[in-house]
Structure 1
Amino acid sequence: MARSLVDLLTEHAAHHPGRTAYRYLVTGDSDGEVRNLTYGRLAERSRAVAAWLQERGPAGSRAVLLYPPGLEFVCGYLGCLSAGVVAVPGVPPQGRARNHRALTRMQRLIADADAQVILGGREEIAALDAVAEHLPGLDGIARVATEDIPDEAASAWREPDLTADSIAFLQYTSGSTSAPRGVMVTHGNLLDNQRIITERLGHTPDAIAEHDHEMFVSWLPAYHDMGLIGPTLNTLHLGATATLFSPLHFLERPARWPTAVSRYRPHTSGGPNFAYELCLRHATPELLDRLDLSSWKVAFNGAEPVRPATLRRFAETFGEAGFRRAALYPCYGLAEATLMVTGGSVGTPPTLLAAAEDTPHAGESDAAAVSCGRPATGLTVVIADPERQEELSEGEVGEIWVAGASVAKGYWRNALATRETFRATLPGHDSRFLRTGDLGFLRGGELFVTGRLKDLIVIDGRNHYPQDLELSAELSHPALRPGCTAAFAVNGGADGADGDVRDVGHGGVGGEQPVVVAEVAAESGGESEKIIDLIRAMIGEAHGLAVRDVVLVHSGTIPKTSSGKIQRRATRAAYLDGTLVALAPLAVTGASASG
Structure 2
Amino acid sequence: MSRFVETLVASARANTGEGGRGLTTGEPEEPWFRTWGQVHDDARRIAGALGDDLEPGTAVAILAADPGLIAPAVQAVWLGGGSVTMLHQPTPRTDLAVWAEDTVRVLTMIGARLVLLGPPFEDLSAMLQENSIAHRHLAELAGSGAAPLAGPVDVPEDATALLQLTSGSTAEPKAVRITHANLHANLLAMVEAAELDAERDVAVSWLPLFHDMGMVGCLTVPMAIGMSAVKVTPADFLARPLLWPELITKHRGTVTAAPNFAYAIVGRRLARADDGEFDLSSVRFTLNGAEPIDPAAVRTFTEAGARFGLDSTSMVCAYGMAEATLAVSFAPLGRGVEVDTVDADALEQQRRAEPVAPDTARARQFALLGRPLPGLEVDVVDDEGRELGDRQVGRLRIRGAAVTPGYLTTEGPLSTQDSEGWLDTGDDGYLVDGQVVICGRRKDVIIMGGRNIYPVDIERAACEVEGVRAGNAAAVRQEAGSRRERFAVVLESRLAGDEEAEKRLRKEVAARVLDAVGARPSAVVVLSPGSLPKTPSGKLRRAAAASLVPAS
TM over 0.5: yes
Query: What's the CA shift string for 1:393-416, capped at 9, x where partnerless?
Result: 111111110010000121126788
Query: For residues 161 and 54 of structure 2, what CA distance do their matches in structure 1 show?
Result: 16
Query: What's the CA shift string for 1:542-565, capped at 9, x where partnerless?
Result: 111111000010111112112211
Is 1:130 matched up with 2:103? no
Structure 1 residues 2-41: aligned runs within 5 Å: 3-18=2-17, 19-26=20-27, 29=28, 32-41=29-38
Deviation of 1:265 after TM superposition, in Å, equals: 1.8
The aligned counterpart of 2:333 is 346
Go from structure 1 to structure 2 and tell me whether the alpha carbon gap of 1:561 and 1:377 turns closer, same or farther (over 3 Å shift). same
The aligned counterpart of 2:491 is 518
The aligned counterpart of 1:439 is 428
Structure 1 residues 564-579: aligned runs within 5 Å: 564-575=538-549
Query: For residues 417 and 391 of structure 1, what CA distance do their matches in structure 2 show?
Result: 29
State which of 243, 248, 254 in structure 1 corresponds to 2:235: 248
Is 1:472 matched up with 2:464? no
- When the two chains are superposed, the root-mean-square deviation of aligned CA atoms in Å is 2.5
Deviation of 1:262 after TM superposition, in Å, equals: 1.9
The code of the aligned residue for 2:124 comes to L
State which of 394, 401, 414 in structure 1 corresponds to 2:390: 394
Query: For residues 357 and 64 of structure 2, what CA distance do their matches in structure 1 show?
Result: 44
CA contact (8 A) 1:308 1:367 kept: no
Go from structure 1 to structure 2 and tell me whether the alpha carbon gap of 1:463 and 1:362 turns closer, same or farther (over 3 Å shift). closer
Query: What's the CA shift string for 1:216-245, capped at 9, x where partnerless?
Result: 100000111010110101101220111111
CA contact (8 A) 1:374 1:447 kept: yes
Query: For residues 496 and 241 of structure 2, what CA distance do their matches in structure 1 show?
Result: 18
The aligned counterpart of 2:347 is none
Partner-residue secondary structure (3-state), 1:59: coil
Q: Share of identical aligned residues, percent? A: 28
Go from structure 1 to structure 2 and tell me whether the alpha carbon gap of 1:369 and 1:397 turns closer, same or farther (over 3 Å shift). same
CA contact (8 A) 1:51 1:158 kept: no
Go from structure 1 to structure 2 and tell me whether the alpha carbon gap of 1:538 and 1:400 turns closer, same or farther (over 3 Å shift). same
Query: What's the CA shift string for 1:488-515, capped at 9, x where partnerless?
Result: 12139xxx96xxxxxxxxxxxx601110
Partner-residue secondary structure (3-state), 1:330: strand
The code of the aligned residue for 2:469 comes to R
The code of the aligned residue for 1:68 comes to A
The code of the aligned residue for 1:13 comes to A
The code of the aligned residue for 1:491 comes to E
Deviation of 1:363 after TM superposition, in Å, equals: 12
Query: For residues 424 and 327 of structure 1, what CA distance do their matches in structure 2 show?
Result: 37
Query: For residues 387 and 263 of structure 2, what CA distance do their matches in structure 1 show?
Result: 35
* Long gaps (5+) in structure 1: 426-430, 498-509, 576-588
CA contact (8 A) 1:268 1:297 kept: yes
Deviation of 1:98 after TM superposition, in Å, equals: 5.2
Go from structure 1 to structure 2 and tell me whether the alpha carbon gap of 1:165 and 1:363 turns closer, same or farther (over 3 Å shift). farther
Q: Which of 526-535 and 51-60 deviates more?
A: 51-60
State which of 74, 87, 90 in structure 1 corresponds to 2:71: 74
The aligned counterpart of 1:142 is 134
Partner-residue secondary structure (3-state), 1:408: coil
Query: For residues 348 and 154 of structure 1, what CA distance do their matches in structure 2 show?
Result: 51
Partner-residue secondary structure (3-state), 1:380: strand
The code of the aligned residue for 1:519 comes to E
TM-score between both structures, scaled by the size of structure 1: 0.85
The aligned counterpart of 1:506 is none
Partner-residue secondary structure (3-state), 1:282: helix
The aligned counterpart of 2:381 is 384
State which of 253, 259, 282 in structure 2 corresponds to 1:295: 282
Deviation of 1:130 after TM superposition, in Å, equals: 2.0
The aligned counterpart of 2:86 is 89
Go from structure 1 to structure 2 and tell me whether the alpha carbon gap of 1:43 and 1:558 turns closer, same or farther (over 3 Å shift). same
Structure 1 residues 55-454: aligned runs within 5 Å: 55-97=52-94, 99-121=96-118, 123-124=120-121, 126-132=122-128, 134=130, 138-139=131-132, 141-149=133-141, 150=143, 152-176=145-169, 179-203=172-196, 205=197, 208-209=198-199, 211=200, 214-356=201-343, 358-359=354-355, 368-385=365-382, 387-412=383-408, 418-419=414-415, 422-425=416-419, 431-454=420-443
* Long gaps (5+) in structure 2: 344-352
State which of 503, 507, 514 in structure 2 corresponds to 1:540: 514
Partner-residue secondary structure (3-state), 1:473: helix
Query: For residues 523 and 24 of structure 1, what CA distance do their matches in structure 2 show?
Result: 38
Query: For residues 393 and 47 of structure 1, what CA distance do their matches in structure 2 show?
Result: 51
Partner-residue secondary structure (3-state), 2:158: coil
Query: For residues 102 and 214 of structure 2, what CA distance do their matches in structure 1 show?
Result: 21
Deviation of 1:303 after TM superposition, in Å, equals: 0.6
CA contact (8 A) 2:496 2:527 kept: no
The code of the aligned residue for 2:11 comes to H
Go from structure 1 to structure 2 and tell me whether the alpha carbon gap of 1:120 and 1:522 turns closer, same or farther (over 3 Å shift). farther
Deviation of 1:215 after TM superposition, in Å, equals: 2.1
The code of the aligned residue for 1:424 comes to D
Query: For residues 111 and 127 of structure 1, what CA distance do their matches in structure 2 show?
Result: 22
CA contact (8 A) 2:496 2:528 kept: no
CA contact (8 A) 1:353 1:361 kept: no
The code of the aligned residue for 1:188 comes to A
TM-score between both structures, scaled by the size of structure 2: 0.91
The aligned counterpart of 1:562 is 536
Deviation of 1:341 after TM superposition, in Å, equals: 0.4
Query: For residues 305 and 360 of structure 2, what CA distance do their matches in structure 1 show?
Result: 18
Query: For residues 413 and 529 of structure 1, what CA distance do their matches in structure 2 show?
Result: 44
Deviation of 1:158 after TM superposition, in Å, equals: 4.1
